[in-house]
Amino acid sequence: MLKNLRSQKGFSLVELLVVVVIIAILAAIAVPIYMSYVTQARATEAQSAIAAIRSSYRIQYQTYGSTENYTVEDALKDAKLGRRTELNWEFEAIGNPPRTYMATSTNEFPGGEGKQVWYDVETAEYHGYGVDEEEETEEIID
């Protein structure tokens, strides 16, 4: 019986520690990358909503020649955003016709309150949470 136990092979403590260290290194690399993808996905929700609101404003402007009495609430009704999106974000259109569309996260937002994503009509670019963070990282590396 003892001869059978001695002849069985197993992993040494050092081998197990090496495997644990390798897994820890891979996790340390993977988790920040995953979190970056989550942030970008959450920002995409705001970008999609802003695009729908912009479309509502454009239709209003093309139909009536003005957006004077057209509010963000009207645009939200016309855009028919999902309930969760409306709970996660508060929207604002700045200017008449709007030159900037802004979304600010609420306390319902999984990423926290006060995150902002905005679209600048003149440059046709999105900025803010989950958008500009990638560029900042690249600048630090350079």
Q: How many CB atoms lie within 10 A of CB 92?
A: 14
CA contacts within 13 A on the Cβ side of 91: 27
Q: How far apart are CA 100 and CA 7, in angstroms?
A: 74
Residue 96 scores a pLDDT above 90: no
Domain boundaries, the chain: 13-141
pLDDT (0 to 100) of residue 10: 83
**Is 26 or 134 the better-scoring residue by pLDDT?**
26
Q: What are phi and psi of 68, to 5 degrees?
A: -55, -55
Residues 6-46 have pLDDT tens digits of 666 788 899 999 999 999 999 999 999 999 899 999 999 99
- 74's enclosing H/E stretch is helix 72-79
Tokens standing for 66?
Answer: 């003005």
